[in-house]
Structure 1
Amino acid sequence: MEVQNCFHCGLDIVKEEEIIFDEKKFCCNGCKTVYEIFSLNDMSCYYDFEKSPGATPLDIKGKYDFLDNEGIVSKLLEFQEDKTAIVSLSIPHIHCSSCIWILENLQRLQKGISTSQVNFPEKKVRITYNPEEVSLKSIVHLLSSIGYEPYISLENYETGKNNVDRSLTYKLGLAFFCFGNIMLLSFPEYFEVKEYWLDNYRPFFRWLIFALSLPSFLYSASGYYVSAYKSIKSGMLNIDIPIALGIVIFFIRSTFDIIMDY
């Protein structure tokens, strides 16, 4: 017997609970409602990026009532001034290009949201909105209604503790170390003079420079490769694509010059 899967979330459909809408099958009213929301707002291409990319929305009635407290909201916000507020929310369900696309187009679903930007590695979305037109509670309810319920831990904000990701610091530190040593070892190359030690040890120093460039190329620049790949996969262009392309092309060209002893 063939198992039917929900068009929205991909879960198996219990025959007795099957819901058919717009010639598509859904496992529950929640998934059907999300599909309707996207269709009414001309965002049904959400399903073109990935097959069954969504999650079943949960009932969160009363769960986020604490967001009515201005004191709590002010602790959650990164920035607030007049008609502009910025908040970063952790979205555990982010997993594919469809998630990125829908979360970066929240302004089409909710008036008052101006921009939203996804940080895929950290599974976060940074939202800029007008607090006079929409509240943080309404934004959280919107995210939850489309299957992207945020994780909000008041513990971190009350104690002032937060897990700091230092990976970027390590990448920058390694890149500076490699860059400094490479420039130092390349210094004799700038002087086109015939000298015994330079002529005899030039190949050695070139391969040493190549070895120093590998950690920077493979680790320090990895964020650009991941971002460019995700952007291309989702059909959206961002600034990381030409940066990643430039890094790869220059690395290949430099490696070719070392091998050919130019």
Structure 2
Amino acid sequence: MKIAVIGGTGLIGSQVVKMLNAGGHEAVPHSPSTGLDLLSGQGLAEALRGAGVVVNLTNSPTFDDASPAFFRTTMDNLLAAARSEGVGHTVILSIVGAERVPDLAYYRAKVLQEDILKAGPVPYSIVRATQFFEFIDAVLSWTSDEHTVRLPATPVQPMAAAEVAQAVSDVAVGAPLLGTRNVAGPEVFPLDELGRITLAAHGDPRTVITDDSAGMFAAAPGDALIAGDDAVIAKTSYREWLSR
């Protein structure tokens, strides 16, 4: 089966392409570097021609109020082209608990992306994942200085990007879910504790200060980012991933 992977050169997309091809499918990566511009639609029809499935892993270049417009335009373009080219299954990657964090423009934008897909003309699947292990260092950098890292105690349930990619790949080769599959890591941590574990593993002497107003994840109330009982739980623990 030919599968077009848009955003197929990024962290998740490159792994999805590799996994799908290893499984005997013809997964083709598409991105601006291959001549595809999802915002303008340039190269989109050519990218989808002959594909039975399209996996959309593109992301907004910003997390601010511009992100809803990005997802609306790119999804409208993608679904119109998918219908025109006879693609039978569209898959996107979203975020566990996105609708429970309305104070974040980016999370509202991801919910908008899901809603556009659900209302569109192509059978669909949504994979919702928790935060990636690979992004924890970046999260720490947002609210850090020479001596301290300020983090809220927001509960998070992170997972390895490789297991996110596997979940996306598994859904892509199956029948459209016409719904959502949630995937999450095997452990829940307060984000400040996760910061201390990370700094210790890196031999970083900075101190983590618990600050429930610090950074983007301070906007997530309660257990908003924690997966429910229906989630598929990944196997790799954070400490195991760090040790690699």
Name the TM-score class by shorter chain.
Answer: under 0.3
Which has the larger share of strand? 2
TM-score by length of 1: 0.22
TM-score by length of 2: 0.23
Which has the larger share of helix? 1
